[in-house]
Amino acid sequence: MADLKTTFLGISSPNPFWLASAPPTDKAYNVNRAFEAGWGGAVWKTLGEDPHIVNVSGPRYSAIHSNERRVIGFNNIELITDRPLQTNLDEMRQIKKDWPDRALVASVMLPMNEQTWAKYLPMIEDTGADAFELNFGCPHGMSERGMGAAVGQVPEYIQMAAEWAKNAASIPVIVKLTPNVTSILPPAKAALDGGADAVSLINTINSIMRVDYESLTMYPTTDGMGTHGGYCGEAVKPIALNMVAEIARTKDTQSLPISGIGGITDWRDAVDFLALGASNVQVCTAAMVYGFKIIDDLVDGLSNFLDEKQLPFGQLVGKAVPSVTDWQYLNLNHVEKAVIDQDLCIQCGRCHVVCEDTSHQAITNTVNGERRFEVIDEECVGCNLCASVCPVDGCISMQHLTSGNDPRTGEPISEIKANWTTHPNNPMRKTD
C-alpha cells in the first residue's frame, strides 16, 4: 500500500483527506467519529467572536437529485458555529490531545479590525490547533455582515486580514477563497502578499436551488422567505479544479501550497485535485451525503491507484499542471476523428441525433439500408460530443490522425505544431 502520510505546511496527517470546515466538524462528537473512521484531519467549523451567531431552525440544506435521488449538487445557508467560543475551544483542545496524529485546523471568521484578530487568535491557537484557516469564502449570511465572501471578493481586504492573522498567530495561516469572483488569481495573490502560508479553495458558490412548484416561491424557504445559499457537491468540482489549476500554473501564485476543496466524492476526484496542483484535499458534501465511512474508499482507492502507477504521493501533486494552458497555445494542426466501435455499439443512435441536431452532421443513421451509426470523416471535427453522450463506456473514442490528409479540409496532416498566436487568421498574430 502506498504511503499516504502527508505533510501540509509542516502539519502531518496519516492521509491527505481532511474534513472541511462545515457541519461535519461542528463539535467533538462528530470529529471523534470522523477520526475513528480514519479521516486524516479536520478543519473545525468556523469560529467567530462571542456572542455566537444563531442559525435558522428550518431548512438549511437542499439538493439537486438525479432520478434515483443521488445528490448531484448541494446548497446550504448554515452560518458559522452557533455555539459559545469557549465550548468549541475546550473541545478542540481535548480532540488534539486525544488525536495527536491528526491535523486539527481552526477556521476563523472575524470582523475587519485588527484588534479583534489580535484578541481571538492567540486564544484559539492555545488549543493546540495546527493552523488557522481564514474563512473568506462563505457567500451567505455572514457576507451581509462584511465577513466571509465579502472579504474574499476584495483582494485588499484579504491581504489586510492575512497580515493581521500572521501578526497574531505563530502557527501557519491558510486563506480559504471564495469562487464568487471573476478571477481567482487576484485573491490568491493578495493572500500570498499578505503572508498567508497557503490557500484553500473553493468555498461555496452563490446559488438558489429552484422554486416550489406548488407555491411558486423559491425553495426552500424559512417561513415563506428564502435567501441564496452556497452551492457545493459533485456539480461544482470542475469549477474548483479550474481555479486550483489557475493558481498552480500562474507564475505569481504558483508558490502557494493549495488545499483543494469542491465536490470530492471518491478517490478519483482527489486525484484530479492533487494532479492539478493541490497538496491535500478537504471534503464536506460527500460526508454529509454518505457519512464518514466514505474515507475507506478515498484512502484505499488513492493508495491502490498510486501503487498501480508506481507513483509516490508527492509526485502526484501538480503532475497535470504542465498540461494546462491557454486556448491560444493549443495546436491547431492536431486532427482527431471520432471512431465508433461497432462491436460495442448498442444502436441507441444518440451520437447521431446530437451530431445531426447540434453539431456537424458527421454520423450516419443508416448504412446500406441498415440502422448503423458510422462517423463521416469528411464532416467530423473531432469535437467529442458523440463520445460524451454515448452510454457505452469506450464505444466511441477519438483517434489522432498522424498522416495523409484531413478528409474534412483536404489539407495534409502536419507534424508541425502551430497555434493561434501565429495563425494567419489572427490579426494580432506574432510575426517574428
Where does this chain touch another protein (CB under 8 A) — which range of 67-75, 126-134, 380-388, 406-414?
67-75
138 catalytic? Reply is yes
Should residue 211 be labelled a site residue for another protein when binding is judged by CB under 8 A?
A: no
Q: Before 53, cis peptide (omega within 30)?
A: no
Residues 10 and 56: their CA atoms lie apart, in Å, by 38
Least CB distance from residue 84 to another protein, whole Å? Answer: 42
- Out of 289, 353, 376, 398, point to the residue binding another protein (CB under 8 A): 353
Task: Quote the least distance from Cβ 345 to another protein, whole Å.
Answer: 8
| Dihedral pair phi/psi, residue 366, rounded to 5° | -140, 135
Nearer to another protein, 57 or 66 (CB): 66
Q: Does 210 bind another protein (CB under 8 A)?
A: no
Amino acid at residue number 55: N
Q: What is the dihedral of CA 186, 189, 194, 196, to 10 degrees?
A: 120
Stretch that binds another protein, among 63-71, 88-96, 248-256, 297-305 (CB under 8 A): 63-71
66 contacts another protein (rule: CB under 8 A): yes
The torsion of the CA quartet 372, 377, 381, 382, rounded to 10 degrees, works out to 70
By C-beta, is 123 or 346 nearer to another protein? 346
CB atoms within 10 A of CB 215: 10
Q: Contact between 352 and another protein (CB under 8 A)?
A: yes
Of 379-398, binders to another protein (CB under 8 A) are 391-392
Q: Whose CA is closest to 338, among 411, 410, 418, 401?
A: 401
* 350 in contact with another protein (CB under 8 A): yes
- Comparing CA positions, the residue from 260, 102, 248, 254 lying closest to residue 177 is 260
Q: How far is the CB of 358 from another protein (least distance, A)?
A: 13
Q: Cell for 338?
A: 471520432
Half-sphere exposure of 391 (CA within 13 A, CB side): 5
Q: How far is the CB of 360 from another protein (least distance, A)?
A: 16
Could you say whether residue 112 binds another protein (CB under 8 A)?
Answer: no
Using the contact rule CB under 8 A, the part of the chain among 15-23, 65-73, 180-188, 269-277 near another protein is: 65-73
* Selected range binding another protein among 5-13, 108-116, 232-240, 343-351, rule: CB under 8 A: 343-351
Annotated active-site residue in 138, 284, 390, 395: 138
251 contributes a contact to another protein by CB under 8 A: no
Distances (CA, A) of 2 to 174, 280, 309, 407: 27, 15, 10, 47
118 scored as a contact of another protein (CB under 8 A): no
Distance in angstroms (rounded) separating the CA atoms of residues 136 and 142: 10
- Helix, strand, coil percentages in the chain from 3-state DSSP, rounded to 5: 35, 20, 45
* By CB under 8 A, residue 359 contacts another protein: no
Could you tell me which stretch among 64-72, 82-90, 126-134, 258-266 binds another protein (CB under 8 A)? Answer: 64-72
Candidate residues 221, 365, 397, 399; the one interacting with another protein per rule CB under 8 A: 365
CB 35 within 8 A of CB 44: no
C-beta of 351: minimal distance to another protein in Å?
A: 8
Q: Is the CB of 227 or the CB of 342 nearer to another protein?
A: 342
Out of 349, 360, 377, 407, the residue judged to bind another protein by CB under 8 A: 349
In three-state secondary structure terms, 29 is helix
Using DSSP, state whether 6 is helix, strand or coil.
strand
Query: CA 123 to CA 306: how far, in whole Å?
Result: 40
With CB under 8 A as the contact rule, the residue among 51, 69, 223, 224 that binds another protein is 69
Q: Which is nearer to another protein, 342 or 405 (CB)?
A: 342
Smallest CA-to-CA distance from 317 within 282, 283, 273 is with 273
Nearer to another protein, 319 or 372 (CB): 372
- Catalytic center residues: 138
Task: Catalog residues that contact another protein under the rule CB under 8 A.
Answer: 66-69, 346-350, 352-353, 365, 371, 391-392
